[in-house]
Structure formats: C-alpha cells, structure tokens
Amino acid sequence: MPKQPMDETPGANRRQFLAAGASAAATPLVAATLASETAHAQASSHPDPRQPVPVHLKVNDQDHRLMLDSRTTLLDALRGHMGMTGSKKGCDHGQCGACTVLVGGRRTLSCLTLAVMVREPVTTIEGLAGTDGTLHPMQQAFIDQDAFQCGYCTPGQILSAVACVTEGHAETDDQIREYMSGNLCRCAAYPHIVEAIKQAKTQMRA
Amino acid sequence: MRPFLYERADDVQSALRAAAPDGQASVPPTEAAAQFIAGGTLLLDLMKLDTMRPQMLVDINALERTHGRIESTPQGLRLGALVRMSQAAEHPDILRDYPAVAQSLQQAASAQLRNMASLGGNVLQRTRCQYFRDPSWPSCNKRAPGTGCSALEGVNRKHAVLGVSERCIAEYPGDFGPTLAALGAIVETAGPRGTRSIPFEQLHTDSEMPNVETVLMPGELITGFTVPAGPWTRRSVYLKVRDRQSYAFGLATAAVALDMRDGVVGEARIGLGGVAYRPWRSHEAEDVLRGKPFDEDLADAAARAAFAGARTHGGNAYKIDLGRRTLVRALLQAAKMEG
C-alpha cells in the first residue's frame, strides 16, 4: 500500500477547519472575548502550521529563547537546537526512558514532550554536576558501582534515579526496581544500577 | 509528524473555543481536526506513527489550576481531569478509601509516564493493537472504516475476548478505566453544547463501529470524574497479570470491590481489563456474588459467568482461563481484606 508523503496534509480539511475558525471569530460574543488577545488573534488570522513558534526554555538554570517548528520535541530541541546531546534518543516513543529529563523536578520523557509546551525549568544530565565539576552523588555512584556498560541509557537512568530518590521510592530493592522500570538497559546492568541508587541515596540525604 | 497549529488555552472556555469543530463535519472526536493535549503521551506517540493526524493541538495544561484537584468527601471521590496519574496513585485518601483506584494507577505505565499523563487523557487511551497503530497495515476498521480487521487471523495474542465483534477485537489497554467502570464512576465533560455527566460505563462504545470509541462529541472535553462512596470501596483490589512484573500492559486484570457482612457478600463491583474491547464491568459476575456466602467456589462461579460470553480468535484463547483465574484471585484477596 503506497504511503502518503508526510507533507501531503489533506488541504481541503484544513481549509474547512480554518474557515470555521475565521467565521467563529466574526461572531460578536467570541470577538469580545478575544479582544484582550488582539495580538494573538491577528497572528492566528493567517495561521501557517509550518511557521516557527517562539519557545522559551530554562535548561540547567540558563534561559534559551528559540524559534522552533511546533512539532519539535523537548528532546530534539535539547539535542538538535541547543547542543545538549546528553539526553539520548532510544525509541522516540516513550517506551525506553533514555530521553528522561527532569521538568519542574519531575522525571519526564522528553521525546513525548513538545518543546513549546514546557513551562517549568528543565534539568538534563549536563546540569547535574556542580559548577566546579564535582559529580552529583548519583553520577559518582554509577561510576563506583559500575552501573553501565555501553552507557547509552545512562543519562536517562541517572536522571530517573535522582527522581526515584527524591520521590521517596528508593526504600527497598524491590521498590527501586519497580520505580525504575521505565528505564530499559539492553546491557542489563540492572543489579548494579540498584546498588548505585542505594549508594547515592545515603549521600543525597546527607 | 504532520504540521499542526499550537494554541495554549487558559481556561475551559478558551479551550472549547479553540477546539470548536467545523459544524458541517461529522467525525468521531479521535479524528477531529483539533485535539486537546495534556500529557501528550498517547497523542504524540500516535502522531509520530501517523495514525493520528490533527491539524491543531489545544494545550490544556493550564487548566490544572482549576481541574487539577483531588477531593475526598463523604459522598465520594472527585478527581479533576488534569490530575496526573502519579498524583492520584499516591494520594493518602485514595490509598486508604479507594485502594483499587490507587493500585490500578500504580501498576500502569512507568514513573515517567504517570508523571505526565492526565486522568482525563488516560481513560481515552487507545488500543495497542499493532494493526491499528501501524498505518502501513491496509486493513483496520478502527483506523480506516470498512477495510476489515487484520487481527482476526493475525497476531492476536493480546487481543480482547469480551465485547468483540468480527469488525474489531482490539483490547482496551488501560487499568484505571476498568476500575472506574467497576466503581460506577461518573465522567464530567464540557463541550460546545454545555456540560454533561456520563456514567463511565457508557463513555466507551461497543465494537460495532470501531472508529467511534466514545460517546464524546468533537470538541468535548473531559473535566473530571466522580467515584461515588460506598461500603465496598475500602475492600477493593486491582490485580494485574502481565508478561513481566512491571511496566507492561495487562493480559488480564480485575478490579474488585466487595461489601461483606459476616462472610456474606452484600454488594460486589467487578471490572475487567486486558481482556475486553472497552473498560468492562461484569454485571453477570456481580449477580452471582450478591447475597451469597463467600467462598472460592462462589468466586469461581462468578468468574465463569464473567467469561460466559467470551469469544477467542486463536492467539488469545488462553485469556479465558487467565481472565477467570485473575478474577478469582482478586476476589479472594478482596474477601480477606479488612472491611
């Protein structure tokens, strides 16, 4: 079965949709409520979905203002537009956890997050170490416990592990395994990852 | 992924306005040009696969301020649609008074996905059927009505056995949904025609028109859920059987809530997941249990009743036995709990 090229958006449908939006904006009630958003209403009177949108991200305490295609995921923004390639693209479908970052302190899959939707500060693997280069206790623990082989899943594992401890979900080995199950490791370094989390937990609480 | 317009809504009214459908078009909400996005864990996945092709995304995360609360009252549990799965899974009132709700959320997905996914979006999770998810398969009545069902004679080990038809045997993959069905929850929505309350059991439609999955209208937004209180909610269990111990979809799951006095079942509530086309409530099993002294034979009779209407298609034949045993074990666990 021939596949449609990606950019062959059903044009008629889009036109219908946009026409409906325009006619809705002409009714007085809607026009009145939109009056406070004049600039926005004007911008959307000729909307082109391919037009870049402004994106403001705070990553590792640094502000980044970008113009990006609305389809850009946080992962692609970090890797492709901000030069931070520590966050890894594994499956790109939210199944492997390699892209895990912290958003507002909560572990989040950056491959299933649109950059334009992010409103809270982002922490990536590049932002974990101290300014003097001292590794985060979790980074050091992964080294000490030999908690990786190929290393591809490691940035996601470490961010997820930091959150696992701060959430209070690292009380027992079983609990660590359960709450780290969203981070796959094809080298199967799992037992050492559990040991690393136990080591770092003590230091993170100190 | 195809291009789309992005708009952030500040409140329900601006969300509804942004997603207002074209009046002439009659399409199921899943195919509407404008889609609401909260966690995005389902929508962006299916957009990357080119299975969903919205032309506009309306970001409703700002509604968390007004629709992100959990409230437990003597009447029941109120859950805002923007509550994240992880918040409800760990809430002390839910853990104590509605353990099946907490367990169904704890055992779903991964820690990352639970942090992201909203409860409103979770119940609209779409099937994992690979013939639906991958648009390179020509036959899928859910994705392309009238083309047939590739799963009938395809790889169907994970497919449904209850509520299926020759048009579609896709499984509803969620865990929270069957629990809401069992507990008689109510869904609250806001849409172009105003607000309404829908019994959760009636939210999802049957397999006769597989491309229409719910009774929602295009542009209609789930705003919250109410789970009515009852003497059975504390004695409730969600049991999930899957290929691995964590982070996998259920092959057979059971949500069970019992009100028992002196060993006799007063009220029984039973939901099933992983085995059914939609979030499944088994009134048949409930009828077997109600008013009878509880023992394993009674649980077994209830489980047989629950699967009496099951239809298998080769690869999923094991699901009748597995589903029955899962329900029996869940009932035995619930019966042992403090009431």
CB A28 within 8 A of CB A37: no
Query: Between A and B, how many CB-CB pairs are < 8 A?
Result: 128
pLDDT of residue B212: 97
CB B275 within 8 A of CB B292: no
Mean pLDDT score of chain A, rounded to an integer?
85
Count of domains for chain B: 2
| Minimal C-alpha gap between A74 and chain B (Å) | 12
Q: Does B95 touch chain A (CB under 8 A)?
A: no
User: Residue B300 domain-assigned?
Assistant: yes
* A116: closest chain B residue by CA: B6
| Minimal C-alpha gap between A205 and chain B (Å) | 21
* SS3 assignment, position B72: strand
**Using a CB-CB distance cutoff of 8 angstroms, which residues of chain A are in contact with residue B7?**
44
| Minimal C-alpha gap between A59 and chain B (Å) | 18
- Considering B17, B33, B61, which residue would you say is the last residue of a domain? B61
User: Residue B201 domain-assigned?
Assistant: no
pLDDT of residue A205: 86
CATH code at position B260: 3.30.390.50
Q: Does B48 touch chain A (CB under 8 A)?
A: yes
CB A123 within 8 A of CB A100: no
Contact A17 B34 (CB under 8 A): yes
What distances in angstroms separate CA A123 from CA A49, A196, B27, B94, one per listed residue? 29, 20, 41, 31
* 10-residue stretch averages of pLDDT, chain B, 339 residues long: 97 97 80 97 98 97 98 98 98 98 98 98 98 97 98 98 98 98 98 96 98 97 98 98 97 98 98 98 98 98 98 98 98 92
Q: What is the greatest pairwise CA distance in chain A? A: 67
**CATH code 3.10.20.30 region(s) in chain A:** 53-127
User: Residue B264 domain-assigned?
Assistant: yes
Give one word for B102, left, alpha or beta, with left for phi > 0 and alpha for psi -120 to 50.
alpha
Predicted confidence (pLDDT) at residue A38 exceeds the cutoff of 60: no
Residue A8 banded pLDDT, cuts 50, 70, 90: very low
Contact A94 B45 (CB under 8 A): yes
Contact A16 B24 (CB under 8 A): yes
Name the residue range of residue B251's domain. 236-336
Residues 6+ apart with CB under 8 A from B261: none
User: Residue B207 domain-assigned?
Assistant: no
Strand residues in A50-162 grouped as ranges (E): 53-59, 62-68, 100-103, 106-109, 122-123
* B8: closest chain A residue by CA: A117
* A55: closest chain B residue by CA: B6
Task: List, as ranges, residues 310-329 from B with C-beta within 8 Å of A.
Answer: none
Query: Per residue in A165-186, pLDDT tens?
Result: 999 999 999 999 999 999 999 9
Per-position b or e across B288-299, b if 16+ CB within 10 A of its CB: bbeeeebeeebb
Contact A112 B44 (CB under 8 A): yes
Contact A97 B112 (CB under 8 A): yes
* SS3 assignment, position B269: strand
Query: Per residue in A128-157, pLDDT tens?
Result: 999 999 999 999 999 999 999 999 999 999
**CATH code 1.10.150.120 region(s) in chain A:** 137-205
User: Residue B278 domain-assigned?
Assistant: yes
User: Residue B231 domain-assigned?
Assistant: no
Contact B5 A49 (CB under 8 A): yes
| Minimal C-alpha gap between B41 and chain A (Å) | 6
User: Residue B56 domain-assigned?
Assistant: yes
pLDDT of residue A28: 36
**Using a CB-CB distance cutoff of 8 angstroms, which residues of chain A are in contact with residue B37?**
114, 117
pLDDT of residue B25: 64
User: Residue B9 domain-assigned?
Assistant: yes
CATH homologous superfamily of A53-127 equals Beta-grasp domain (3.10.20.30)
Predicted confidence (pLDDT) at residue A4 exceeds the cutoff of 70: no
Contact A112 B115 (CB under 8 A): no
| Minimal C-alpha gap between B2 and chain A (Å) | 6
CATH class of the structural domain A137-205: mainly alpha
Residue A14 banded pLDDT, cuts 50, 70, 90: very low
Query: Per residue in A89-122, pLDDT tens?
Result: 999 999 999 999 999 999 999 999 999 999 999 9
Instruction: Please identify which residue in the block is written with the tokens 């409730």.
Output: B236
